[in-house]
Amino acid sequence: MTTLPDLPASGAKAGAAVAVPAASDARQAWRRLRGRRSAVVAAGVLGLLVVLALAAPLLAAVEGQDANTYHDALVDSARGGVPIGSFGGVSGDHWLGVEPGTGRDLFVRLLYGARVSLLVAAGATVVQVLIGVAVGLASGLGNRLLDAVLSRFTDVMIALPMLVLAIALTAVVPNDFPRPLLLILVIGLLDWGGTSRIVRAQTLTLKQLDFVAAARLAGSGRWRVARRELLPSLAAPVITYAAILLPMNMVLEASLSFLGVGVKPPTPSWGQMLSSAQTWFRADPMYVLLPAGLLFVTVLAFTVLGDAVRAALDPREAGRLRVGRRRTSRTPAAADPSKDISS
């Protein structure tokens, strides 16, 4: 369906609870993350995928194929272009078979598809985080008018129907504009509202705290406070939220390409392959299963890893490990600003 899971709300909740991690907290979070088997497996899968995507030209050379050469001899034109041979034409020359109709090598196309998928997902996340942090910080630190205007604007951005607007946007951009960049911009410029909300809420809380007040008293300007004191403390909630955004962006790219408004042929993309697989699902199931499986595994790995990152950065999980210490130090929160800011 068109809506993605209602993550902003849950993300906001998680973000609001995340405390300021000092250096030791970051190390602890890292240790917690490594301790989760599911996180390690997910990270391994993603690492492998990134390596494969980066090495795509190399692997293509090893296989001796490229992404766009047609192999008419490998598809059965009498049967409408179904690949000859079992499992979609798997052979020593074509490790994962060939594309029905054209005979292009699937292994190489899938690898290059991974590049597009990862590039757009990561690029869009970067744009979202940059805009979200900038707007959220300005909103949290600015005067009442600026905050009201920016918050209202953020509300409107969140209320807009994302997928539909993204589709409409792709319609009005000239065809020669590079599509992956277009997708990064469309997703990034439309969907930064969640990040901005979290950053604003976090900034409002943080700026009440003593270490920020101390920095102000020591003569730091607003900009310096934002950069030196607030940004490091915002890292945890922003990373948590970015980890949720990544798989969502990946699905969005695949969806737009599936609808034929994303990456344009001949550039391969998983969503676009699945779109052309619609006419082949009877005759050549492998052509559906390969891109679908890859997309599924990648999104799942991102989701699992994102969940683990959230848990690792969650101060409540941290508290569980330090129960003894916390009980002994029941001093006012002001004594130790690096903990428990929600109280």
Partner 1 sequence: MTRYLLKRLGGAVLVLLVLSVVIYGLFYLAPGDPARLACGERCSTQQVAQVREQLGLGDPVYTQYAHFLRGIVAGRDYSTGTALLHCDAPCLGFSYQTDQQVTSLILDRLPATLSLALGAMVIWLVIGVGTGLLSALRRGGITERALTVLTLAGTGTPVFILGLLLLMLVCAYLQWLPFPTYVPFTDDPEQWAWNMLLPWLTLGLFESAKYARLTRSSTLETLAEDHIRTFRAYGVGERAVVGRHALRGAVPPVIALSALDFGSVMGGAVLTESLFNIPGIGKSLIDGVREIDLPVVVGVVLVTGTAVVVANVVADLLYAAADRRVALL
Contacts with partner 1 by CB under 8 A lie at: 1-3, 5-6, 152, 155-156, 159-161, 163-165, 167-172, 174, 247, 251, 254-255, 258-261, 271, 274, 277-278, 281-282, 285, 288, 292, 295-296, 299-300, 302-304, 307
- Candidates 74, 100, 59; CA nearest to 288 is 100
Instruction: Pick between residue 199 and residue 244 the one whose CB is nearest to partner 1.
Output: 244
Tell me the closest approach of the beta carbon of residue 194 to partner 1, in angstroms. 15
Q: How far is the CB of 29 from partner 1 (least distance, A)?
A: 22
Distance in Å, CB of 110 to partner 1, minimum: 15
Decide whether 171 or 217 has the Cβ nearer to partner 1. Answer: 171
- State in angstroms the smallest separation of the CB of 85 from partner 1: 19
Q: How far is the CB of 74 from partner 1 (least distance, A)?
A: 22
Shortest approach of partner 1 to residue 117 CB, angstroms? 12
Q: Find the shortest distance in angstroms from Cβ 332 to partner 1.
A: 28
Return the number of the residue (2 or 328) whose C-beta is nearest partner 1.
2
Cβ-based neighbours of 72, under 8 Å, separated by 6 or more: 103
The residue among 2 and 24 lying less far from partner 1, judged by its C-beta, is: 2
Cβ neighbours of residue 81 closer than 8 Å, sequence gap 6 or more:
75, 100, 101, 102
Which is it for strands 75-76 and 82-83: parallel, antiparallel or unpaired?
antiparallel
Minimum CB distance to partner 1 smaller for 21 or for 83: 83
Q: Single out the residue of 132, 153, 143 nearest to residue 202, CA to CA.
A: 132
CB of 152 to partner 1, least distance (A): 8
Which residue lies nearer to partner 1 by CB, 25 or 76?
Answer: 76
* CB closer to partner 1, 61 vs 164: 164
Compare residues 203 and 276 and give the one whose CB is closer to partner 1: 276
- 3-class SS letters over the chain: CCCCCCHHHHHHHHHHHCCCCCHHHHHHHHHHHHHCHHHHHHHHHHHHHHHHHHCHHHHHHHHCCCCCCCCHHHEEHHHCCEECCCCCCCCCCCCCCECCCCCCEHHHHHHHHHHHHHHHHHHHHHHHHHHHHHHHHHHHHCCHHHHHHHHHHHHHHHHCCHHHHHHHHHHHCCCCCCHHHHHHHHHHHHCCHHHHHHHHHHHHHHCCCHHHHHHHHCCCCHHHHHHHHHHHHHHHHHHHHHHHHHHHHHHHHHHHHHCCCCCCCCCCCHHHHHHHHCCCCCCCHHHHHHHHHHHHHHHHHHHHHHHHHHHHHCHHHHHHHCHHHHHHCCCCHHHCCCCCCCC
To partner 1, the closest distance from the beta carbon of 261 in angstroms equals 6
Nearer CB in complex with partner 1: 225/305: 305
